[in-house]
Amino acid sequence: MKAMVFAAGLGTRLRPLTDTMPKALVPIAGKPLLYHVMNKLRTAGYDEFIVNVHHFPEQIKEYLAGTDFNYKISDESRELLETGGGILHAEDLILPSEEPFLVHNVDIVSNLDIAWLREKTRPEALATLVVSDRPTRRYLLFDEDMRLVGWTDTSTGEVRSPHPGLDPSKYRKLAFAGIHNLSPRIFECMRAHGFSGRFPVMDFYLKVCALEPIFGAPVTNLQLVDAGKLESLPRAEALIS
């Protein structure tokens, strides 16, 4: 099974650590964030990894060369392509594949049961997004079948949806966890809807969710730490330990 790990980010919230190293190599409990994510996924059965790189890319390449992970590098050294562009850029490294592939942010530390996510992935799903009921400003909106219908920022009242006049109060609000399971046909779908170059994957999801089956997989009792912030590192270490 294949998994893509987003490791290309600039890690601005982790400065000054990321002034001299990529976010993916920031140590937690004595080992890089990248190790913890890849090891968790390998334990869950993933045996082929695609790692995208941009910020201090040679450091990540050197680190991975010294490990026993089965990996390929998706090089974004020339331009950071964001999440959607990063997935599309890695197409040749992910295909051919007949089964969904996992995408996981390198700075997300959680107790998620990855095998559970695979079980929750419906055969028809273009994407299955790990979500949970936790306080935040920005929420994804789902109907009663857990199909994505839109997005809202509760602090500003902004709503984004392909459904005109969508009322967020009528839908389930859940926070995205930075982990998703994607169908291999996502690449052709991105191109068919005019996506290329640099773009956030959420822009794509919110454009096509009225036409394509994009579902949420809500997790109860999810413990999740965004380890992309300095103040979160002690909590991430406690969760890993």
* 8 Å CB contact between 23 and 11: yes
| Alpha-carbon span 168 to 128, nearest angstrom | 20
As a whole number of angstroms, the distance between CA 234 and CA 158 comes to: 33
Q: pLDDT tens digits for the chain (241 residues)? A: 999 999 999 999 999 989 999 999 999 999 999 999 999 999 999 999 999 999 999 999 999 999 999 999 999 999 999 999 999 999 999 999 989 999 999 999 999 999 999 999 999 999 999 999 999 999 999 999 999 999 999 999 999 999 999 999 999 999 999 999 999 999 999 999 999 999 999 999 999 999 999 999 999 999 999 999 999 999 999 999 7
CATH of the domain at 202: 3.90.550.10
Q: Which residue in this structure is represented by tokens 């640099």?
A: 198
Residue 158's contacts (CB-CB under 8 Å, 6 or more residues apart) are 152
Using CA atoms, how far apart are residues 123 and 185, in angstroms rounded to an integer? 12
Q: Quote the number of domains for the chain.
A: 1
Torsional sign, CA 116, 121, 127, 130: negative
**Domain containing residue 65:** 2-240
Residues in contact with 3: Cβ distance below 8 Å, sequence separation at least 6, in sequence order: 38, 41, 46, 48, 49, 50, 101, 102, 103, 104
